[in-house]
């Protein structure tokens, strides 16, 4: 797990929150927000978020990765983005 205080992780966090917020602009999006329960996202919304994250961060998020909260997205992206991984080393 990467430290949450690094500038790269904070930047990733902000970008992920922005991408998720675009799907549900009328609901507050927090790191602890559950995708389907609190935000009301359906499977298509989640797929679109994944595609946006993959495009934005130049990564691949496999289907089998368990993503239930916004924080899960941030953690996965931070662990698989070269810039964040380099700062954590």
For 18-62, the pLDDT digits (tens) are 999 998 778 889 999 999 989 999 999 999 999 999 999 999 999
Counting beta carbons within 10 angstroms of the beta carbon of residue 24, is it exposed (0 to 12), middle (13 to 18) or buried (19 or more)? middle
| Secondary structure (3-state) at 69 | strand
Name the pTM for this structure.
Answer: 0.83
| More confident call, 86 vs 59 | 59
Neighbour count for residue 27 (Cβ, 10 Å): 14
CATH number of 7-88: 1.10.1200.10
| More confident call, 77 vs 1 | 77
């Amino acid at each position: 797990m990467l430290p949450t205080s690094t500038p790269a992780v904070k930047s990733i966090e902000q970008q992920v929150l922005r991408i998720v917020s675009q799907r549900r602009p009328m609901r507050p999006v927090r790191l602890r927000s559950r995708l389907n329960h609190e935000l009301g996202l359906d499977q298509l919304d989640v797929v679109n978020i994944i595609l946006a994250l993959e495009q934005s961060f130049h990564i691949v998020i496999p289907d089998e990765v368990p993503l239930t909260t916004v924080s899960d997205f941030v953690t996965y992206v931070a662990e698989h983005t070269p810039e964040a991984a380099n700062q954590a080393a």
